[in-house]
Amino acid sequence: MQENMNFDESIVIHTAEMEWLGSPSEGVLRKPLEREGTESGRTTSLVKFMPGAAFSPHSHPLGEEILVLEGVFSDETGDFPAGTYFRNPPGSKHQPFSKEGCILFVKLDQFDPLDLEPVKVQTDFNPLNQGLGGLKVMGLHQFGSESCALVFWPAGEHFQPHTHWGGEEILVLTGELIDENGHYPKGTWLRSHI
């Protein structure tokens, strides 16, 4: 079942208004944002592990990208508290679980097949760098034309009109983002056309 896979259109989803849906693993819930297939292919979603929930061992043919939003996410390589960003490269395998529960922003099977470098960043301990205008930026990953960063917009910041060649995807983590098309509170996911 495909969902939001037309990349010629822009999408805005207020995730706070969505219901959590079940998954193949008991105690793991999802809010699907884009989905290529029912349980395979390109997927972007919010994922909620209830305390003690676990997924069976599995692989990601074209990688997995995660930002831990709340709680502590774990697998056989360690425990990852809120603020941890990581990328498991194409072909990687793991067995995820959460003792206390957690909420994640997850992207599956979207890597360039040559993007093979594992990434783990604890964003709470990394400095923000000066961006354009009053923006502060923490670069998380760059490969080819893909770039991933945390961007802090100070209150009242007005950014100059600009274009993102190849599209742009945003998850509002705190506060409210505003542009000429609307207001986007915490939890809003936006994808501009590619």
Instruction: Report pLDDT for 121.
Output: 95
* pLDDT at 53 > cutoff 60: yes
Q: What percent of the chain clears pLDDT 70, i.e. is strictly above it? A: 97
* pLDDT at 66 > cutoff 60: yes
Q: Of 60, 81, 116, which closes a domain?
A: 116
- Tell me, yes or no, whether 131 lies in a domain: yes
Instruction: Report pLDDT for 172.
Output: 97
57-61, 76-80, 172-176, 185-189: least confidently modelled range: 57-61
Predicted confidence band of residue 36 (pLDDT cuts 50, 70, 90): confident
Q: Of 84, 116, 148, which closes a domain?
A: 116
Render pLDDT for 147-156 as a digit per residue (tens, 0 to 9). 999 999 998 8
- DSSP letter string, the chain: --BS--TTS-EEEEGGGSPPEE-SSTTEEEEEEEESSSSSSSEEEEEEEPTT-B---EEETT-EEEEEEEEEEEETTEEEETTEEEEEPTTEEE--B-SS-EEEEEEES-S-TT----EEEEGGGSPPEE-STT-EEEEEEEETTEEEEEEEPPTT--PPP---TT--EEE--SSEEEETTEEEETTEEEE---
Render pLDDT for 73-90 as a digit per residue (tens, 0 to 9). 999 999 999 999 999 999
Q: Using DSSP bridges, classify how beta strands 84-88 and 119-122 pair: parallel, antiparallel or unpaired.
A: antiparallel
Mean pLDDT of 42-68: 94
Same domain flag for 56 and 139: no
Q: Which residue range is the domain that position 184 belongs to?
A: 122-191
- Tell me, yes or no, whether 4 lies in a domain: no
Same domain flag for 54 and 139: no
Same domain flag for 91 and 146: no
Number of domains observed in the structure of the chain: 2
Same domain flag for 102 and 141: no
What is the rounded average pLDDT for all residues in the chain? Answer: 91
Predicted confidence band of residue 9 (pLDDT cuts 50, 70, 90): confident
